[in-house]
Structures are given as C-alpha cells and as structure tokens.
C-alpha cells in the first residue's frame, strides 16, 4: 500500500490522508491451491513474528513469495520451497552446501536435524539420528531452497518421502509443532 500522512508540528499524531493498493494478487483469489498456500504462508509469518514487527526481511520475503505464488502454478514442491526459504531468512538453515563440522563441500552426506544440516561420513559418526541423503536428494533440497517458485514446480523429486521427513522434522525442531501441523494439513495441494 501507499499511504500518505499529514502531520502538524503542533500535533503528536499524524492523520492519514490517502491510501491505495499498489499491487493486488488477483490470481491467488482465483485458484484454490494458491489461496490455501497463501494462507499457510501468511499464517506462518504471523505466527513467527507475533508482536515483533521490526523484521523487514520477513516482509520483503512475504511480498516476494506472494508475487511468485500469484504468477505460477503451485504444487507440493512450492510448499517445500517456501518452507526452506522461510527457514533460511529466519537464520536456522538448514545447511546443505558443506559439512557443518569440517566445512568440506558435499554433494551427499548425512542430515542431522538437531545440528541443523549435513555432515560428511567421517564427521557424522557420533550421531545416532542421522538420515543418509544421496546426491539426487540433496541436489533437490538445494534446488528447492535456492530457485524461484516458477522453477521448483517442475522439479521431479525421486525420494519425496525423505525430503518430506527432513523438512517436517526440521520445522518441528526449530519452529515447533504448530508449524508442522499446518504443513500436514496442506500437503495435498
């Protein structure tokens, strides 16, 4: 929105003179799947920021995702991509480019939820709850985290169950059960 305020020097408060929409996501209201995904995105953002509205990155992220949802067809890949991007701007990862411990760049490895990402074979020996991620699965996760929604919708994911398990477990650990319950409700988009 563009909002115009007038403030007098003698007054403590400004008066709103005019407000207008700069952009309206019309396609979102015409497609049930886009509408549901948008609702999830907004609920996730609202739940995360709560009372703390001084987080400009989340508002830029939200506007970008709304525009991409409005422009593109959506599917389960879109949901996973939005979640990974949301986690990234929150600063909780996940790290998928290099081993968290030795920092060697990896194209496969072991994902450890509680540590926040990928470990190489040598560095993962001390972890019990690790999930092996082959080259294709890790590549798919990186693609979902990096690319825009127009590209991710066409991604063919061979090991969807593993990606779903990683994303849901990661969200549950770092953001809590409230966030994972909503994911499970809208996975059928």
Q: Are 34 and 28 in contact (CB under 8 A)?
A: yes
Q: Are strands 131-133 and 109-112 parallel, antiparallel or unpaired?
A: antiparallel
Pick the CATH number of 2-186 from 1.20.1440.120, 3.40.50.880, 3.10.310.30, 3.90.1140.10: 1.20.1440.120
CA–CA gap between residue 6 and residue 16 (Å, rounded): 6
Distance between CA atoms of 9 and 109, rounded to whole angstroms? 62
pLDDT of res. 143: 96
Q: How far apart are CA 122 and CA 93, in angstroms?
A: 22
Helix or strand run (H / E) with residue 40: helix 32-49
Q: Domain ranges in the chain?
A: 2-186
pLDDT digits (tens, 9 = 90+) for 56-110: 888 889 999 999 999 999 999 999 999 999 999 888 889 999 999 999 999 999 9
pLDDT average, residue stretch 28-51: 87
Q: Which secondary structure element, helix H or strand E, spans residue 63, and what is its range?
A: helix 56-71
């Amino acid at each position: 929105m563009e909002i115009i305020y007038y403030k007098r020097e003698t007054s403590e408060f400004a008066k709103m003179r005019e407000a207008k929409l700069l952009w309206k996501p019309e396609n979102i209201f015409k497609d049930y799947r886009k509408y549901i995904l948008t609702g999830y995105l907004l609920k996730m953002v609202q739940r995360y920021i709560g009372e703390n509205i001084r987080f400009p990155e989340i508002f830029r992220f939200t506007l970008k995702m709304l525009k991409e949802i409005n422009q593109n067809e959506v599917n389960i890949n879109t949901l996973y991509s939005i979640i990974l991007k949301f986690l990234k701007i929150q600063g909780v990862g996940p790290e998928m480019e290099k081993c968290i411990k030795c920092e060697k760049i990896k194209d496969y490895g072991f994902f450890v939820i509680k540590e926040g990402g990928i470990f190489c074979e040598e560095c993962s020996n001390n972890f019990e709850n690790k999930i092996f991620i082959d080259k294709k699965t890790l590549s798919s996760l990186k693609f979902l985290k990096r690319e825009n929604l127009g590209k991710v919708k066409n991604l063919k994911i061979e090991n969807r169950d593993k990606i779903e398990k990683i994303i849901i477990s990661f969200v549950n650990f770092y953001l809590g059960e409230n966030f994972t319950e909503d994911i499970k409700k809208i996975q059928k988009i």
